[in-house]
Amino acid sequence: MKKIVLMGNPNVGKSAIFSRLTGAKVIISNYAGTTVEYTKGYLKTHELKYEIIDVPGTYAIDGSAKSDEVARKMLEGSDLIINVVDATNLERNLYLTIELLEKDVPMIIALNMWDDTKHKGVDIDVKKLEEKLGIPVVCTCGLTAEGIKELVDRLKEAKTAHSKHKNSDDIWKTIGDIVTETQRLSHRHHTLIDRLEDLTIKPATGLPVAAGVIVMSFWIVRFIGEGLINYVLNPIFENFYKPLIMHLSNLLGSESFIHQVVIGSLFEGEIDFGLSFGLLTTGLYVPLVQVLPYILSFYFILGLLEDLGYLPRLGVLVDNLMHRVGLHGYSVISMILGLGCNVPGALSMRILETRRERFIAATLMAIAVPCMAQIAVIIGLVGQRGGMALSIVFLTLFLIWVILGLILNKVLKGNSPEILIEVPPYRFPQLKSLAKKVWMRTQGFLKEALPYVLLGVLVVNILYFLGIVDYLANVFTPVICKLWGLPKETIGALLIGFLRKDVAVGMLGPLNLSDKQLIISSVILAIYFPCVATFMVLVKELGLKDMAKSALIMVLVALLVGGLLNIIL
């Protein structure tokens, strides 16, 4: 079986070409020793079966970024290269092409986004381009599958061109000659989409648009997520799954250790999926009913904004702010995902190149970025006390995010990398490609997060059974009552918060707290520790040592902020 590597600049439609070539059965992995993600699939023709690897996007394989290093290593041992080139940006893309020609590996070019060339006034003489490069060139459109069959048919024509250049200046001279002889540009009037692209990249107009896009995205995510929970998944669990679990509960006996681990606690003889803490109750209910709907809807919106070409613009717009907290603009994606659910936010941090970035992003998200479910409960509970109380909660979280980010950026050694992304033009997403992307990411969540959620539930159950949780409650009572000014009863909500933050905030309602106490307890529940699902995923992504450091920061911030709010309010 021959190995094909799919290589190209970022945002040239590589993923769409890969999807067309490989179909549905693909594997998403991290390159060994890194957090750089790549995708692998298979193509079977009448003659051969190929293993196709979608290499992380890179502008130059001699670059210093981690993705460039991975691209160099993945090129080794390959039998064939499909170089995906943006037909509307030939000059920029050909630098990587020339570098690849010098590797003496058979290559074919997929001249992608061919449908956009006529809209942009770009005319390319494909035959002349083939002659100048010395390898086959096929015009493609990944979104519509135009040219994909020809690309597959011509794989056997892939060849080496034995190109050699002395330095980068020599490469750029060659590129200039090629572009001059093969490409002609003609005048075209600005379209509505062109004007929209300009509006959304300039700070004066782009930031208000970004705020509107984010608010609308949250509204759609909440609408879809809550709809799936209330009308699909909750009824399934209550009407079909619960009777089976109740039967199992009767067989095991409610007082046994096995019952406590597998089923959890009963409330008035009934199972409460959100609070029972069993592997087969809360362990499945939390990820499948409370988290999965928001992940599905969030991945849908994320994929839509990705395919539309909006996310790189958002990254550029917030790059200056992100650099001040030790991150670069594209890390805003992790924060946005975290607002939907912290679990996919944590999983998405593997796109960040350095360990320092991942640590800062994970700590800021876990402390100051509440998930959509928690936000909804806070708005419902604290909002009853007036807009001022609600504003204090969210303003406090925002100030924590900014101040803690500035401190971490100052204290932790190292620099945040520049945002080196090319902003693509807007284009209409294809529903089939979008659905496949959502399904692949959802599968990744279920495979990576579900086992860790179950493990966390198991650990919590054992701690409860051994009485360690009750012991901790007595130990921390002075902190809760004296430092934070909260009644002793709030310890129950804090303990539940490790499993479900939204449920924990909801438990504050019956305690008859004053406005001040409700604000303090809501803020502390948001910042003191991530839920068990996020915690277990972060342990995997950061490692035990860094997660321990991050957890210590969370606890210290909770102690400090709770104490300050108690004094100020």
Phi, psi of 269 (to 5 degrees): 80, 5
Looking at per-residue confidence, does 27 or 194 come out higher?
A: 194
- Position 503 scores a pLDDT of 66
442/427 Cα distance (integer angstroms):
24
Bridge partner list, 138: 110
At 107 the pLDDT is: 94
Length of the chain: 569
* Predicted local confidence at residue 111, as pLDDT: 94
Q: Which ranges of 369-500 does DSSP label H, i.e. alpha helix?
A: 372-382, 387-411, 431-466, 468-478, 491-497
Query: Whole-angstrom Cα distance, residue 160 to residue 148?
Result: 21
> Average pLDDT, stretch 145-162?
86
pTM: 0.62
Predicted confidence (pLDDT) per residue in 385-426, tens digit:
888 888 899 999 999 999 998 899 888 887 666 555 666 778
For residues 22 and 378, give the distance between their C-alpha atoms in angstroms, rounded to a whole number: 45
The DSSP element (H or E) to which 270 belongs, if any, is strand 270-271
Mean of the pLDDT values across residues 262-290?
80
What does DSSP assign to residue 170? H
Measured at the CA of 343, the angle between CA 240 and CA 272, to 5 degrees, comes to 30
- Residue 30 sits at φ, ψ, to 5 deg, of -95, 140
Closest CA to 347 of 307, 289, 291, 397: 291
Structure tokens at 461: 């159950």
Q: What is the mean pLDDT of residues 18-22?
A: 82
State the CB neighbour count (10 A cutoff) for residue 29: 11
What mean pLDDT do residues 59-85 have?
83
CATH number of 2-185: 3.40.50.300
Q: What is the mean pLDDT of the chain?
A: 82
Rounded-to-integer distance, Cα 57 and Cα 526, Å: 36
| Interval 115-120 mean pLDDT | 78
Q: What is the mean pLDDT of residues 327-342?
A: 77
How many whole angstroms separate alpha carbon 384 and alpha carbon 567? 23
The answer to whether the CB of 76 falls within 8 A of the CB of 83 is no
Find the distance separating the first CA and the last CA of the chain, reported in whole Å. 69
pLDDT digits (tens, 9 = 90+) for 190-246: 677 778 877 887 778 888 998 888 888 878 877 888 889 889 999 999 999 999 999
**From the centroid of its chain, how far is CA 29?**
15
Cα–Cα distance between 226 and 238 in angstroms, integer?
Answer: 16
Q: Where are the domains of the chain?
A: 2-185, 203-420+431-466
